[in-house]
Amino acid sequence: MPRRVLLAWSSGKDSAWALNTLAHDPRTRLAGLLTTVNASAQRVAMHGVRMELLRAQARALDLPLWVVPLPWPCSNAVYEQQMAEAIARARRCGITHIAFGDLFLEDVRAYRERQLSGTGVDPVFPLWGMDTAELAWTMVRAGIRAVLTCVDPCQMDPASVGGEFDERFLRSLPAAVDPCGERGEFHTFCYAGPMFARPVPLVRGETVCRDGFWFADFRLADAPAANGKSQRRN
């Protein structure tokens, strides 16, 4: 019997590539996308992505969306309680594994493993240990299309927020920045790729600095902007 896998979904490129990897694994049956959302802002936690885009991704991937709402601010205790409830629900639904797109941060992996220990649901890390420079180029050349939704100005140029995760971007990265942004240098929203039935059409909105990070806002191309004007990303 194939293992039933719920994918921890950030809306970014690494999650998308983890999905692509799992979809080609005959041992795996993908059961849905698990995403934590800032309940007050109605946006994907940290990535700052609107719920309308998250739902559009799920439709284009033809997978159920499991949303874990989090208050803001959110203590670690509350986060763990909400995640424990989601994991228990997954177990009741016959989910055997939760997959994560983590690449090399040992402390993050250890935390995931502790969260799932004893729950009856096991962790899977389909991208673990891959060379991140090679992985970034592989994703771009395979047709992954993503935009930078969040940038840490302490680690890289904030002017890159809102831009494309593409060959030009990869060539311009300083040596200290991980090509996949694994240390939190940047976060992305994936709007197209081999795993999508169709691209998610985007409109670029305002750029803001919030909580020490730079965010670029995007919405669906067919969703009305506040000023009634829009420009398509794709």
Asked whether residue 223 carries a pLDDT value surpassing 60, the answer given is no
Asked whether residue 163 carries a pLDDT value surpassing 80, the answer given is yes
Asked whether residue 137 carries a pLDDT value surpassing 70, the answer given is yes
Rounded to an integer, the average pLDDT of 43-57 is 93
Residue type (1 letter), 224: P
- pLDDT (0 to 100) of residue 222: 77
- pLDDT (0 to 100) of residue 45: 83
The fold adopted by the segment(s) 3-124 is: Rossmann fold (3.40.50)
Least confident of 25-29, 99-103, 110-114, 227-231: 227-231
* Four-point Cα dihedral 175, 215, 168, 13, nearest 10: 90
Q: For all residues of the chain together, what is the average pLDDT?
A: 94
Q: Where are the domains of the chain?
A: 3-124, 132-220
Q: Is 194 exposed, middle or buried (0-12, 13-18, 19+ CB in 10 A)?
A: middle
Asked whether residue 231 carries a pLDDT value surpassing 70, the answer given is no
Which positions ≥6 away from 69 have C-beta within 8 Å? 37, 39, 82
Asked whether residue 103 carries a pLDDT value surpassing 60, the answer given is yes
Asked whether residue 46 carries a pLDDT value surpassing 90, the answer given is no
